[in-house]
């Protein structure tokens, strides 16, 4: 799984999402993150096919939505997503949110999809420690990934530690705080110090924390800029200072309140 990918949340299906995905693939991205809920899987699939890049070089993630939880429901939802994407195999299939009382049956369906070779890896999204503990009580397969809101204002150290101990890769959605942190004094200081944009500083911090990151953009210049994070390294001290910006602040829903 690549450390950097393109998120396509709120990218409109059709030309908008196709243009963003093609631009990202041209820029060197090899990971695209979508979901049934985004309603743009078809455009993502078309862009991948039209890109001319071999399918095996591109890592594709999609997710089962809350309304489709349950064993049979999830199997049907997966087939719908696979048809929309036009792909034989999905690289990573996630439970989008931990719907109380249902996600265990949903996970059982994901395990079947994995065993049947229809997905290369299975994981979860927006799971807190107590959700993971409940899931692992009966799971045959440990989730490969837990995709959560993660940025310097929401560091989630205990969740990160737990996932690391269990061999679950943490992945950051909304890593750039939807731009709300770009004016933070320390981030601006680091931007000047390293000659990088605030976005690049945050994304580099993700990587050095061992967190996969999938910034969303439909703007070609930002897609390119977000990729240019492999030619510098933050000092350990600066990483710790960014950790210290944590305020447990969410810009998306809280997993215990959303479902």
Active-site annotation holder among 9, 29, 38, 93:
38
The residue to which tokens 């299939």 are assigned: 93
Check if 9 is active-site. no
Grouping H, G, I as helix, E, B as strand and the rest as coil, residue 161 is helix
DSSP state of 162: H
Contact 153, 195 (CB under 8 A): no
57, burial (CB in 10 Å: exposed 0-12, middle 13-18, buried 19+) = exposed
> Nearest 5 degrees, angle CA 179-CA 182-CA 188?
170
Contact 153, 142 (CB under 8 A): no
d(CA 59, CA 238): 31
Catalytic residues: 38
């Amino acid at each position: 799984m690549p450390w950097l990918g393109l998120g396509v949340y709120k990218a409109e299906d059709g030309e908008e999402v196709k243009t963003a995905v093609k631009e990202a693939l041209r820029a060197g991205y090899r990971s695209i993150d979508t979901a049934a809920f985004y309603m743009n899987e078809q455009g993502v699939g078309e862009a991948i096919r039209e890109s001319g890049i071999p399918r095996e070089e591109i890592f594709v993630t999609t997710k089962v939505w809350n309304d489709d939880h349950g064993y049979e429901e999830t199997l049907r939802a997966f087939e719908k997503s696979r048809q929309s994407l036009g792909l034989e195999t999905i690289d990573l299939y996630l439970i989008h949110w931990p719907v109380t009382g249902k996600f265990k049956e949903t996970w059982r369906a994901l395990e079947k999809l994995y065993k049947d070779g229809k997905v290369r890896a299975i994981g979860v999204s927006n799971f807190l420690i107590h959700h993971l503990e409940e899931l692992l009580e009966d799971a045959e397969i440990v989730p490969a990934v837990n995709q959560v809101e993660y940025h310097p204002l929401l560091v989630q150290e205990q969740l990160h530690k737990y996932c690391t101990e269990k061999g679950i890769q943490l992945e950051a959605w909304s890593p750039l705080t939807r731009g709300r942190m770009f004016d933070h004094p320390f981030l601006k200081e680091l931007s000047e110090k390293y000659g990088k944009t605030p976005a690049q500083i945050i994304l580099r911090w993700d990587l050095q924390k061992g967190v996969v990151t999938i910034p969303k953009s439909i703007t070609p210049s930002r897609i390119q800029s977000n990729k240019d994070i492999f030619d510098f390294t933050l000092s350990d001290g600066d990483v710790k200072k960014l950790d210290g910006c944590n305020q447990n602040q969410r810009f998306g829903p809280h997993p215990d309140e959303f479902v």
